[in-house]
Structure 1
Amino acid sequence: MKPLADKIRPSRLEDLVGQEHIIGEKKLINRILASKIIPNMIFYGPSGTGKTTLANILAKNSHKKFFKLNGTQANTDDIKHIIAQIGTIDSLNGILLYIDEIHYLNKRQQQSILEFIENGDITLIGSTTENINFSIFKAILSRCITIEFKELTVDHIIESLKRAISLVKEEKSIQINYDITALKYISEVSSGDLRRALNTLELVINTYALHNSQEIFIDMEKAKECSQSKIINYDRNGDGHYNLLSYFQKSIRGSDPDASTHALARLVESGDLNAICRRLLVIASEDIGLAYPQAIVIVKACVDAALQLGFPEARIPLAQATVLLSILPKSNTAYTAINAALDDLHRLDVGTIPPHLCDTHANIAVHNKTKYLYPHDYPNHYVKQQYMPDNLKDKTYYEYGKNKFEQSIKDHWKKIKTQK
């Protein structure tokens, strides 16, 4: 029996929901269809967002011989069979090859079609949920345009659920009514995956139709029972991993404790404890830094506690560290100072270390006429002398941040260094 998700799969571009950035009047896909020339393409993005559906629509309008492979099952012989069709009567207009989950093909398998993509015998459309920069052979990638598919919104999914309900009502001749909040719930827990939402709807209809073949009412109780639990879209090796960690850090840097806690909750749900701990330690020095120097000490204690506790208890010290960092004053002066110093090392002739600052046992220091002045022998443990190499003697890397702690230190040294 054909799944509901396949039954309502759109055959026209106008019926495809979401992806407004590539579909619509004067958008890329519409222009491609109007040109009647299908380029090699790689579709990437979350599951259930329309990648396969769009490939089918493009194939239908290409007038080429259409072949479809799934990277999880395809082997080299499958690819050779398609290559053998080149130039046959059925393939006079060329071949359009769609490979779903293309990242599962190994390098050799991807290379086997490279020559035929390049000479135009095969037009390739590949789809993947992975980071294309790591999962697709670079030679393939360079010959394709890459198109990102974005997660569907709740409204997009509700629209498709309503369409599916209309189709089932007509097909099974049963009355289906629903509470819109139930459809919204199914859409929300599907995490942007239309296929999953449709599977949930189909489960509700099929299981409750057994008890009442004439009428079904989809309410919250049925929606929750058949949805079970929300699946978090998170891939530790994909773009989602880096996007979420970036969101986490930027929310803390932006001093928003609510967004920071929300980002942490997503990371906690993913179970990626090490990534959370590493990022918190970085933030403590990169974004809070000298505005509150004790932050790194507190965060290290929270991180150690989290690693010792493990989930689920680890969420508590992690939350403490996250909220603390988000509400503390911010300073990136140490971060910018070290970056500037490293940049100069790579760009400039920085010169040698001042001789009087070299190891006292080194010949260069023994024979140096400039004597090292020991700061602790002087008032306030300070004496003026040159510390920077001659080539950088006028260079400034560290600028005091405009926060209470750094300004107090600035005032301290200003008084000392201006004394005669």
Structure 2
Amino acid sequence: MFENTSLFNSKNTKSNFKQPLADKIRPQTLKELVGQKHLLAEGKPLRRIIEKRIPTSLILWGPPGTGKTTLAHVVANEFQYPFEKFNASIENKAQLNKILNSHPNESFVLLLDEIHRLTKPIQDFLLPHLENGHVLLIGATTENPIMSLVPAIRSRCQIFEFHPLETKEIEKMIIRAANEAFDYEIPLNVAHLIANTGNGDVRTALNVLETLFAMYEKELTTDQVKEFSRQQHLNYDKDATQHYDYLSAWRDSIEGSDADAALYYLAVLLEAGDLESVVRSLKDMSALDLGLADSERSIQVITLANTALEIGLPRASTHVAMATMLLAVSPRSDSIMQAYRRAAADAKNANQHPMPGYLRDSHYKGADKLRGAGIMKNMFAEPKKIARQPYLPADLIGRHYYEPAPNKNEQTLYYQYQKLFEYIYGKKFKKNDNLTHFEHFNPYQE
């Protein structure tokens, strides 16, 4: 049972509609939060940080509508700190300074939205306030912070990845919202369909609920949810067994080189509005199925998939149909998948294979004298722009992980692979006969 801690007192009054439903029923305590069990279940790291009031800044990254902003509110409530919000994409240093000056003698939580867009001048301005405890920063981003944030900010924060919510988790929020905002005991089958439309994004699902209730009030039915979802190209049945059967049939048809079957099952999926699952699978299959047999076509498939996502349905159907056709009629190769698996087998015992010292990190002062890091040949100063020096651990030199599939592209690549080894190491390339083979390796299984 959810506690009623919504940001309004009376129910179903005119003032209720002045703010989005997602804001009205935003959870205010750890107990009310849904999702992110890998971080917030009992004993998990992020929950411990909050429960023990550990004043460490956080970077939360993941898809929209997964609870990043909500967690910032919860942290402020649990720490009993004032809450402020700053958007790095539209606000400037003067606005940030105004926020800082409004809390001259107290610590406060600063939700920094779109933190990956933070400019360097603002970063430099903000850093002292992080270090002296004035600001408890919670950065929210949809971009991988390892790639998008500068080390100065990253090193002062703990990073946690948020995942899309499960349908049953969003369903709880739909039931609570209907009850608190509309005094409506929503039927479970209706709540479930609306939860599915979010595709892991609780805000999207709540927006659908708010719109549908305004249209139909307490007469809301499953047919109305389905019709509305189709019009908006939302996915109301993505967790149905039949839906996953069609997704599997489409992939299997592509991998079986049956273009007609693949196009048919694709049409079933797109008519149900599930473009996102199709796009994810196309990107996945471009590497897993084509591999190095036709790397240019793999890039074409990825480009078509990305374009489809930008354009959206219905026009995007042509782009994903083209990508499906390209995949279905292309040559197959899993050689790079096999190569990685062989390398991974050695990597499990990485401590037994010490790397050459000059490959070690050399960004800090004295690294060259302390560890020999960075003392290596400059490839640009060498003939052919290739530095002839060992890169593999000494005991692994001569172990070759890549074995080509019998297609023209990979035979050309394999020749280049052999000659580069011989040039770098000054040894004759000898094919390994003792490598582990993964002839029946299934990438979809652990």
- Quick check: TM above 0.5? yes
1:333, 1:55 → 2: CA distance? Answer: 40
Question: Quick one: distance in 2 between partners of 1:8 and 1:394?
Answer: 68
Taking the aligned partners of 1:298 and 1:133, their CA distance within structure 2 comes to 28
8 Å contact from structure 2 (residues 290, 330) kept in 1: yes
SS at structure 2 position matched to 1:208: helix
Q: Which residue in 2 is equivalent to 1:105?
A: 118
Is 1:396 paired with 2:399? no
Q: Structure 1 residue 4 and structure 2 residue 6: aligned?
A: no
The match for 1:66 is 83
**Matched AA of 2:390:** R
Kindly indicate whether the alpha-carbon contact (under 8 Å) linking 1:280 and 1:321 is maintained by their aligned counterparts in 2: no
CA distance 1:322–1:85, shift in 2 (3 Å): same
Instruction: Provide closer, same or farther for how the CA distance between residues 148 and 263 of structure 1 changes in structure 2, counting only shifts above 3 A.
Output: farther
Q: Which residue of 2 aligns with 1:201?
A: 209
Amino acid at match of 2:29: R
Change (3 A) 1:283 1:71: same
Q: Please tell me whether residue 30 in structure 1 is matched to residue 47 in structure 2.
A: yes
Asked if the contact 2:89/2:117 (under 8 Å) is kept, the reply is: yes
Which among 29, 33, 57 is matched to residue 74 of structure 2?
A: 57
Equivalent residue for 2:240? Answer: none
Q: Deviations over 1:36-85 (max 9, x none)?
A: 22211111111111111111111112233332223343221111123334
Equivalent residue letter for 1:161: I
The answer to whether the Cα contact below 8 Å between 1:189 and 1:230 also exists between their aligned partners in 2 is no
- Decide whether the 8 Å contact of 1:176 with 1:218 is kept in 2: no
Alpha carbons 1:43, 1:146 under 8 Å: kept: yes
Residue 177 of structure 2 corresponds to 164
Which residue number corresponds to residue 323 of structure 2?
318
In the superposition, relative to structure 1, how do residues 194 and 276 fare at CA in structure 2: closer, same or farther (>3 Å)?
Answer: closer
Aligned partners of 2:182 and 2:125: how far apart in 1? 47
Aligned residue for 1:147, secondary structure, equals strand
Aligned counterparts of 1:38 and 1:99: Cα–Cα separation in 2: 16
Q: 1:47 aligns with which of 61, 64, 75?
A: 64
Find the residue that maps to 2:85 and give its secondary structure: strand
Could you tell me which amino acid in structure 1 is paired with residue 430 of structure 2? Answer: T
Q: For 2:154 and 2:438, how far apart are their aligned partners in 1?
A: 48
Q: What does the per-residue CA deviation read over 1:83-116, in whole Å, with 9 as the maximum and x for residues that have no partner?
A: 334543xx2xx23222222233322222210121
Other structure's SS at 1:99 match: strand
Give the residue type in structure 2 aligned to 1:396. Answer: K
The one-letter amino acid of 2:219's match is F
**Counterpart in 2 of 1:222?**
224
Percent identity of equivalent pairs: 27
Name the structure 2 match of 1:17. Answer: 34
Q: Deviations over 1:15-53 (max 9, x none)?
A: 111110111211123311332222111111111111111
Distance 1:17 1:263, change over 3 A: farther
Matches within 5 A, 1:13-412: 13-85=30-102, 87-88=104-105, 91=106, 94-170=107-183, 176-178=185-187, 180-209=188-217, 216-227=218-229, 228-230=231-233, 269=275, 280=286, 284=290, 286=292, 289=293, 296=294, 312-323=317-328, 328=332, 330-332=334-336, 345-347=388-390, 392-397=426-431
Paired residues, number: 312
Query: Residue 11 and residue 276 in structure 1: after superposition, are their counterparts in 2 closer, same or farther (change >3 A)?
Result: closer
Report the Cα distance in structure 1 between the residues aligned to 2:169 and 2:438, rounded to whole angstroms: 46
Give CA deviations for 1:255-300 in whole Å, capped at 9, x if unaligned: 6889x9999989x947999x979984896453xx5xxxxxx49969
- Unmatched segments (≥5 aa) in structure 2: 1-17, 236-250, 306-314, 344-384, 393-421, 440-446
Letter of the structure 2 residue corresponding to residue 144 of structure 1: C
Q: Could you tell me whether the CA contact under 8 Å between 2:197 and 2:204 is conserved in 1?
A: no
For residues 390 and 101 of structure 1, the distance between their equivalents in structure 2, rounded to whole angstroms, comes to 44
Q: Helix, strand or coil for the counterpart of 2:54?
A: coil
Query: In the alignment, residue 222 of structure 1 is paired with which amino acid?
Result: Q
Q: Which has the larger radius of gyration?
A: 1
Normalised by the length of structure 1, the TM-score is 0.60
Distance 1:82 1:182 in 2: 43
Partner Cα separation in structure 2 for residue 48 and residue 87 of structure 1: 32
1:139 is paired with a residue whose SS is: helix
In structure 2, what residue type is equivalent to 1:151?
Answer: P
Q: TM-score by structure 2 length?
A: 0.57
Matched position secondary structure for 1:46: coil
Alpha-carbon separation, structure 2, partners of 1:16 and 1:298: 45
Deviation of 1:158 (Å) = 1.0
Deviations 1:186-206 (A, max 9, x none): 222211110110111011111
Q: Which amino acid aligns with 2:327?
A: T
The 10-residue stretch of structure 1 (275-284 or 313-322) with the greater mean CA deviation from structure 2: 275-284
SS of residue paired to 1:30: helix
Residue type of the alignment partner of 2:101: A
- Bigger drift between 316-325 and 70-79 goes to 316-325
- Alignment partner of 2:110: what SS? strand
Tell me, in whole angstroms, the C-alpha distance in 2 between the residues paired with 1:157 and 1:256.
Answer: 36
Counterparts of 1:333 and 1:18 in 2: how far apart (Å)? 33
Contact residue 114 and residue 140 of structure 2 kept, 8 A = yes
Where structure 1 has 5 or more consecutive residues not aligned to the other structure, the ranges are: 210-215, 233-250, 290-295, 350-387, 405-420
In structure 2, give the amino acid aligned to 1:199.
Answer: N
